[in-house]
Amino acid sequence: MLCKHFALLAGLALAVMTLSMSKAYAGQVVVRKSSEPFDAFAIRDHVRELHQWKESIRFQEQIKVIQSLPVGCITVVTPYRYYHCGLNFYRPYEYKGITHFVQVDPPVQAGPQR
């Protein structure tokens, strides 16, 4: 009986030690003064757009990346910034300080809000 209690306590102690030694990682933490203007909704929308961008790239089977846009591209800013070049659409992507352009599917324009 004493052996069972000892084993239970030893297991519990091991579990507590393991949990207390594990590291927790969080994303970037930004501290602001209350006097600074802050728009939490704009940040939320920006994060949502980045997530949607990553998801759309993930589902593409082949990703076409170019270093410069063809002549005659039109800049479009909604629903996000992209370039309309003939029949193709490109979205800018910053990598190691250099802007590249990733071919994307035609963006879906949001309908009027009701």
Which amino acid appears at position 90 of this protein? Y
Q: How far apart are CA 67 and CA 99, in angstroms?
A: 7
Closest CA to 50 of 33, 32, 68, 27: 27
As to burial, measured by CB atoms within 10 angstroms (0-12 exposed, 13-18 middle, 19+ buried), residue 90 is: buried
- The list of the chain residues with pLDDT below 50 reads 114
